[in-house]
Amino acid sequence: MKQVYLKIGAKNEWAVIVCYDFSLLDFDDMAAIMDTFGLSKKSINKALRILSSYNTGLAISRDDIKMSVVFVSNTTSPDEFWSTLNHELYHCCTAIIDYYGEPYDKEPAAYLQGELMRQAVLEIAEPCR
């Protein structure tokens, strides 16, 4: 499983862990991460079943540690990967924006989404060149 860390804020006030390119052999590690984020055993099992399919994802956030984790399953194409990642990062954005009490339909939310995608491209796409 590959992991990248995205940081939000000048002082890294919030972190987003993106996990991708995983196999069934990584499911124990993934379950441990989900457990750390407070998912029940039943929810973890359901999440792992969903993530065993192509083109799926999951985002979990915890306000108390100011951290989110994103899982992106194996995808059928590069554009599906980026679409799924962008979708899951949106869920992280809503959690972060909600935590700080900002409105969802204003510029801070749009800038946050853009910043998360910018970092993801730099961390995931650039090393592939």
Domain containing 120 equals 2-128
Per residue in 43-92, pLDDT (tens digit) is: 999 999 999 999 999 999 999 999 999 999 999 999 999 999 999 999 99
- pTM for the whole structure: 0.93
Least Cα distance to 89 among 50, 63, 49, 61 occurs for 61
Q: Provide the 3-class DSSP secondary structure of residue 70.
A: strand
The pLDDT tens digits of the residues spanning 39-57 come to 999 999 999 999 999 999 9
What is the number of structural domains in the chain? Answer: 1
Q: In one letter, which amino acid is 42? A: K
